[in-house]
Structure 1
Amino acid sequence: MAPRLVFVHGIGGPRDPATELAAWSAALAGGMRVAGHSALAATLEADPAAHAAFVSYADLFGPAQAQGADDTPAEAELLAALVAELVDEAAESAEEDGAGPEELAVLADARAEATPTGQQQGAPDLARRALNAVTTLLSLRPWDGAGQWLTPKLMVRHLGQVARYLARAEADGDGATLDARIRARVAEAVGDGPVVVIAHSLGTVVALEALHERRAEVPLFVTLGSPIAMRSVVLPRLRPQPPAVPDGTARWLNFWDRDDVIAVRPRLERDLAPGATGVRPVSARIDSDGLWVHTSTKYLAQAAVAGPVAEALSPARG
């Protein structure tokens, strides 16, 4: 049985599944051609729906998203911690790259803005601190290329989706929490397998947890721009604990770009236990062009990403 492709998106606003499926497939096909898999690329691009599914869940963030992620203390606290860790990662990268004193001073200001004081902090204050820190970060490269968000407030709102997912709250009338409803859409697309799952950003967290629950046959799991390695926010809140590779996953490739401000430095090999067959994540750095590299299509167009996907699909396709 030929594996199917399942794409899982990350943070951001609502999107049209058909349009996204075509865009992700086209980007992946471009990378496949560079990697020497032109025939498979043509097949995928000609009829994406026959070979792939796009999991869309951004609409589930809708109602509370209109109010903002700072309405509940738990989510505001998670958002503040998320921004603080992103600032720390940015500072670490800047120091390693030999950044000048002006840039380091700005990052220090952002860290101070993101860090709560000794006094008890309410949700509005935590949200305000997160917004101030992001506003400061947007004055630096590569954050200043984050044109997809237009404003710091919108960027914080989208980052707040990570906090809302990890808060395990917002139950519907049937008692299903927001995170469970999101994973249910992934599980529906995955089915009984086999599937090659490609997930981006927050979608990597969603897909990882869904694959633990679904236990499908996954010849290849690809994560792009993942925040899974965020040790203070994401990693300790993953389910199940301790974090591990899903048992049905035969291979896990994790790709990150040094200029991707959402993806932290990969430590997955150390932080996640192997699956039942001893599989561990393997991380690889890629370098995309342009100022803003945290887009799924920039990752997918890389031969280093698309090549292994083509190899996972080709043997079964014959």
Structure 2
Amino acid sequence: MRPRVVYVHGNGNKVRSELLKSQWDRALFGSDMADFSRMAYWAPVRYDTPLPDFRLGPLDGGPAEIEETVASVEFEPPEEFVARTLAEARFEAGGIGPESTPGVGEQKDALVDWLSEMTALADTLAEMEDAGPADRHPLEALPLPATPRKAVFRLLVKHTFKDVHAYFFGGAGKTIRGVVQETLEGLDDAPLAVVGHSLGSIVAYEVLAEQGREVELFTTVGSPLAITEVQDHLAKPPAVPAGVRAWRNASDLRDLVALDHTLRPEYAPPERVTDLLVTNDSHNHHGIAEYLGNPKVREPFQRIFSDVARGQTGCKHDK
């Protein structure tokens, strides 16, 4: 039986399903994978019509072939985002400045300092990747301070990640999970890989945790699953889904959606989880094409799907 890969997209409206799947295929494999891949396309649950072809969602970055579109999209620098979101927090609390809400100024300073440190670490990581492959990086992402992390996460959900709010609190979760479940139907006997981006990583995780189906490789990119405030709302306590043989979690240190970058300490058994610090040079460090195109993300897929990608009729996983 030939392997299959199922994609689960993240926040925001998307281009039509067939084009989105092809974009992910080309980013991950370098070519369209035809019926060897499927897109769990849940955007219609939240949006009446898809984006125009090659129009970027605000969180998606964009593939290299549409650079002119990428360049036209304005992304807010992380430091400016921090300042704006904390200003909104002060306004909603009835304050008019940092002095009126104790600790807000310190929260902003802590976040800006943290973002600067993450940028420096990410630059160092990029230099190491350019120098050649390494089995292990000596870098460890420092956790974002708890108080500002909670403040920013809540504002992210309320004002920016409205699909996350709809998923957890707006009654859309069951329907979105149903799209993923339907996409997985009929693949019970095929060696399976699953990729989840952003909110899609949460949806994929919850479906796999519920089903317990066998998955050779579960890959999450730009995932917020390490954030305590997300874990608090999962249907089951954090753990590697029973059927998942290997879980690879990749994030850029500057990715504000990920915030926390290590799943391994919270999701047992830890030996099945690999946390990867990678560079994502999209404007917001969260773009899906840049994540899927990273060699550390691509390598296990290209190995599993090597025969399929070469256009052969079978592969090493055939029964």
- Output the TM-score relative to the length of structure 2: 0.62
| 2:11 is the counterpart of 1:2 | no
Residues 157, 165 of structure 2: 8 Å contact kept: no
1:252 aligns with 2:247: yes
> 1:219: which partner in 2?
216
What is the percent sequence identity of the aligned residues?
A: 32
| 1:196 partner SS | strand
SS of 2:161's equivalent in the other structure is helix
CA distances 1:283-303 after superposition (whole Å, capped 9, x unpaired): 111112343321111101111
Tell me if structure 2 keeps the 8 A contact 1:13–1:158.
no
Q: Deviations over 1:148-192 (max 9, x none)?
A: xxxxxx99665111111011x43xxxxxxx211111111122232
**Quick check: 1:260–1:292 contact (8 Å CA) kept in 2?**
yes
Tell me, yes or no, if structure 1 residue 262 matches structure 2 residue 257. Answer: yes
Distance 1:163 1:51, change over 3 A: same
1:113 partnered with 2:110: no
Q: Cα offset for 1:266?
A: 1.7
- List per-residue Cα deviations over 1:184-214 (Å, max 9, x = no partner): 1111222324310011000000000011122
Gapped regions of structure 1 (runs ≥ 5)? 31-44, 64-102, 120-132, 143-153, 171-177
Q: Which amino acid aligns with 1:259?
A: R
**What amino acid is aligned across from residue 286 of structure 1 in structure 2?**
V
Distance 1:303 1:210 in 2: 27
Structure with the higher fraction of residues in helix conformation = 1
Contact map agreement 1:196 1:312 (CA 8 A) in 2: no
> What one-letter code is carried by the residue in structure 1 that aligns with 2:47?
G
The amino acid across from 1:27 in the alignment is: A
Task: Report how far residue 18 of structure 1 moved.
Answer: 0.3
| Offset, 1:115 | 6.0
After TM superposition, the structure 1 = structure 2 runs for residues 61-80 of structure 1, keeping only pairs within 5 Å, are 61-62=46-47
User: What is the number of residues matched between the two proteins?
Assistant: 226
What code does the residue aligned with 1:186 have?
V
CA change 1:105–1:194 in 2 (3 A) is: closer
- Answering whether residue 292 of structure 2 is matched by residue 300 of structure 1, we say yes
CA contact 2:196–2:221 (8 Å) conserved in 1: yes
Task: Measure, in 2, the Cα distance between the counterparts of 1:289 and 1:106.
Answer: 18
1:4-37 CA-to-partner distances (Å, cap 9, x unmatched) read: 010110001143110001110011124xxxxxxx
Contact 1:229 1:268 survives alignment (8 Å)? yes
Q: Does 1:229 align with 2:230?
A: no
Please tell me whether residue 15 in structure 1 is matched to residue 10 in structure 2: no
Instruction: Give the SS at the match of 2:88.
Output: helix
Partner of 2:35: 50
Offset of 1:282 from its aligned partner? 1.3
Query: What are the superposed Cα offsets for residues 21-64 of structure 1, whole Å, 9 maximum, x if unpaired?
Result: 1110011124xxxxxxxxxxxxxx2x52221001110111137x
Amino acid at match of 2:13: G
Question: Which runs of no fewer than 5 residues in structure 2 stay unpaired?
Answer: 49-77, 95-107, 119-155, 308-313
Quote the Cα distance in structure 1 between the aligned partners of 2:305 and 2:33: 14
Return the alpha-carbon distance in structure 1 between the equivalents of residues 287 and 84 of structure 2.
Answer: 27
2:27 corresponds in structure 1 to 27
User: 1:317 corresponds to which residue?
Assistant: 315
State the Cα RMSD in Å.
3.5
SS in structure 2 at match of 1:263 = coil
Q: Secondary structure at the match of 1:221?
A: strand
Would the aligned equivalents of 1:251 and 1:280 in 2 still touch at CA under 8 Å?
A: yes
SS of corresponding position for 1:309: helix
Q: What residue identity is the alignment partner of 2:28?
A: L
Measured in 2, the distance between the counterparts of 1:266 and 1:204 equals 13
State the distance in 1 between where 2:273 and 2:3 align.
20
What TM-score, normalized to structure 1?
A: 0.62
Q: Does the 8 Å CA contact 2:222/2:257 hold for their aligned counterparts? A: yes
Task: Tell me, in whole angstroms, the C-alpha distance in 1 between the residues paired with 2:249 and 2:79.
Answer: 29
